[in-house]
Amino acid sequence: MAYTAQEHPRIGWIGTGRMGFRLAARLLDAGHDVAVFNRTRAKAEPLAERGAVIVDRPIDLADRDVVFSMVSASPDLHAVATGPGGVLTSPTAAPGVLIDSSTVSTEMSALIRKEAAQRGTDFLAAPVSGNPSVIAAGKLTLAVSGPREVFSRVEPLLAVLGRGATYVGEDEVARLVKIAHNVFLGVVTQSLAEITVLAEKGGISRAAFLEFLNNSVMGSPYTRYKSPALVNLDFTPTFTMPLLRKDLGLGLSAAHEFGVPLPLAAVTAQIVAGAIGAGHVEDDFAALILEQARNSGLPLHAEDVPVDDGLSPRP
């Protein structure tokens, strides 16, 4: 790598969806030199106002010191890395480090690591935990795997993205960390929907029940963060049902590989598939509460009350 931790490397960013746009913006706002590619160029162009260079192909980022990628699924990572015009396909240049923050299979991650090594590019798997609101609050976290020495050198960059990056080991183990995290996310959200509907059917408002829960030892930053959506039925997407179904599938595949039964995850995957079949494709996955209420014979209405999401700074 041609820079020290005290210097600002030249950065490339691939993928400016809901998450990638905001993370690239954090690097720009911190004064970094960032060039950006997105399949739909128009979605990346607002970053030019912050100083980004917008490029037409991933290969145009091949001469960058560090390139981040954040795409939707394994085929997308394969396309932007080694497909036609991929960042690892230039005959004359290759990034010093490729850091992938997508949620993809361990098999695809290992394939890209191998392809990167053949070009002399170090590779880190660095999936994230968070969403756009979490990014805005500076609370995003990352699990990172690969060569520890490479992690140490790019850690100052990762620190710009959020609250902290945890080194979890070599090779692709960060993928399993993220998959396990998202399996838990699905199971907890379905359970939260179930108990909230139970309380409401017994005559308790969702706002009152969730306020109690969030102030108890069972509450968490996550249950507090999701409470406004459950109370006011605002399902503006942060993470959609199809993405959750994909990650539950990855988790169940890993469970099969390692011989670990995941009965709760398997049931949740079926519930999520049913919610998608019912039309909840673009909604946030907190819309699981709508299906739970429908199955319980309970009409839901927005309570239209202010609910603290736990992300805003407290006075």
At 170-220, the pLDDT tens digits run 999 999 999 999 999 999 999 999 999 999 999 999 999 999 999 999 999
Q: Tell me, what DSSP letter sits at residue 7?
A: S
Contacts of 79 (CB under 8 A, 6+ apart): 86
Read off the pLDDT of residues 136-145 as tens digits, 9 standing for 90 and up: 999 999 999 9
Q: Give the CA dihedral 13, 17, 21, 22, nearest 10 degrees.
A: -130
Average pLDDT of the residues in 222-246: 95
Looking only at the bridges linking them, the beta strands covering 141-145 and 128-129 are antiparallel
The answer on pLDDT for 314 being more than 90 is no
Read off the pLDDT of residues 70-99 as tens digits, 9 standing for 90 and up: 998 899 999 999 999 999 999 999 999 999
Give all domains of the chain, ordered by start, each with its CATH number: 10-171 (3.40.50.720), 176-295 (1.10.1040.10)
The answer on pLDDT for 2 being more than 60 is no
Q: Tell me, what DSSP letter sits at residue 39?
A: S
Q: What's this model's pTM, rounded to 2 decimal places?
A: 0.87
Alpha helices in 30-147 (DSSP H): 41-44, 74-82, 106-118, 132-136
The residue assigned the tokens 């968490």 is 220
